[in-house]
Amino acid sequence: MLAFAVSFAFFFLVFFANQMLLMAEDILSKRAPVWDVVRLVVYATPAVLALAFPFASLTGALMAAGRLSSDSELLVLQSSGISPARIFLPFLVLGMLFSAGSFVMNDALLPLGTVNFSRLYRRILASSPALELTAHSARRWEGLTIVSGDSRDGVVSNLLILDAPQGGKRRLITAGRGTLSEGEPGVLSLSLTDIFSQSNDPARPGRFEVSRAESMQYNLLLRDISDMSLGVSPREMSSRDLGALIRERQQAATARSIRRSEEAREAREQAMELYLKALEGKTPAARALSEMKPLLERASGLSVPAAEERTLRIYRLEYFKKFSIPAGAFCFVILAFPLATLTRRGGRAAGFGIGLLVAVLYWAMLAGGQTLGNRIEGMSPFWAMWAPNVFVLVAGGAAFAVKRAVG
């Protein structure tokens, strides 16, 4: 158990430093209350724990089995009549416990922590609006996008504001400089200078209004922004909620796909009719060609997967990832036990080093699978996320076979 505890503490600190401290530093630099930052870190901890469990299972099993092998304790146990299967059983039990712990963190505590994190962040935002305007960042809300350039001493340069409310006049505003100023409670007030503005009305698409100004006061209601600034990503949803959302989006995507296929077929049929008329001399060739071109372009455009379908693929990847990462803790144990006994001279140090190497390789395969699953349309999201576990199981089976062959 000591080896597992040490491994868990190590990976927890690694992931904690990678994800939590950067977030805390960003918020503390805006003079947010320290106690609120501590609570934000606590609410974000389940995400760290969910990742720490599988890798702690790997290195812990390697270190424990490596020590047993290097001290000849495995040989003593087998000489006492204890079969290798019984020796391996506690490792399997710990692997299943670590898998269960990772799944609970990922599927239950992570969504709960996200809800509390979002609620507290909105409250901090209302009292510290500077959190919403940082250097070289893009903040998106419903109908509003703010892109900022350099930031120094509270002054942001090269601001771009895209204001496109539903059913309203669309505006594009650029400013040479912008400063957060004291406004009314619940209002984020931007003092802008060197203004260029362009607006148009969707009801009159052919008309644009352009204006310039030396200064401008741009006000945003923090209540409206905070309600929309932190959406829940698929990673932060429970598997049940994410599965229901995937089924709902799948039904909508299927209906859209059928409609797009029908529209593409009609466009191709119209283009074919024009082609046949041109062959029969009923329509001039130049005229038929000019009318066929937009129809074929439309058919080609409808054949490209819609953005909603790509989003659905991302959701499926995250859904299978919720199960593959916790299952990795169990798969790692199957690899770690025979691998550690084959490197009996190294003991715990060798086990820890091998564990880090396998963890890096596993993480690279997982990240690569997610990237390929996002980019390659025909790739199965299931295999993209489960391929690393299959690789670990195959490697574990090979290690068991080698161990049996060498005795």
Whole-angstrom Cα distance, residue 392 to residue 315? Answer: 25
Q: What is the pLDDT of residue 319?
A: 93
pLDDT (0 to 100) of residue 205: 64
Are β-strands 144-147 and 151-152 bridged in parallel, bridged antiparallel, or unpaired?
Answer: unpaired
Token code pair at residue 328: 């990795």
Task: Work out the pLDDT band at 224, boundaries 50, 70, 90.
Answer: low
DSSP 188-219: EEEEEEEEEEEEEETTEEEEEEEEEEEEEEEE
If you average pLDDT over each of 165-174, 236-245, 277-286, which comes out highest? 236-245
CB 177 within 8 A of CB 154: no
Residue 26 to residue 102: CA distance in whole angstroms: 28
**pLDDT (0 to 100) of residue 285:** 72
Band of pLDDT at residue 389, cut at 50, 70 and 90: very high
> pLDDT tens digit string along 346-360?
556 666 777 788 888
State the DSSP code for 130: G
With tokens 């995937």, the residue in question is 246
Instruction: Pick from 249-253, 366-370, 399-403 the range whose average pLDDT is largest.
Output: 366-370
Rounded to an integer, what distance in angstroms lies between the CA atom of residue 209 and that of residue 195? 14
**The tokens 């060739």 sit on which residue?**
285
Decide if pLDDT at 38 tops 50: yes
Instruction: Compute the average pLDDT of residues 184-196.
Output: 77
| pLDDT confidence tier of residue 303, bands split at 50, 70 and 90 | low
Res 107: pLDDT: 87
pLDDT for 396 beyond 70? yes
H or E, element range at 22: helix 22-28
pLDDT average, residue stretch 55-75: 78
What gap in Å lies between CA 330 and CA 393, rounded to an integer?
Answer: 9
For residue 392, give every residue at least 6 positions away whose Cβ sits within 8 Å of its Cβ, in sequence order, or none: 328, 331, 332, 334, 335, 358, 362
307-327 mean pLDDT: 85
Q: How far is it, in rounded angstroms, from Cα 229 to Cα 231?
A: 6
Looking at residue 19, the DSSP 8-state letter turns out to be: I
Among residues 221, 17, 32, the alpha carbon closest in space to that of 120 is found at 32
pLDDT digits (tens, 9 = 90+) for 87-97: 888 888 888 99
> Among 99, 98, 94, which residue's Cα sits nearest to residue 64?
94
Residues 6+ apart with CB under 8 A from 98: 4, 53, 54, 56, 57, 329, 330
Predicted pLDDT of residue 228: 46
pLDDT (mean) for 31-46: 80
8 A C-beta contact, residue 102 and residue 53: yes
Using a cut of 0.85, tell me whether the model's pTM lies above it.
no
Q: What is the pLDDT of residues 169-181, one digit of tens each?
A: 788 899 988 887 6
Listed range (90-104, 129-143, 203-217) with the worst mean pLDDT: 129-143
User: What is the rounded CA–CA span in Å between residue 33 and residue 38?
Assistant: 9
Give Rg (Cα) of the chain: 29
Q: Nearest CA to 325 among 356, 359, 357?
A: 359
* Predicted local distance difference test score (pLDDT) of residue 232: 64
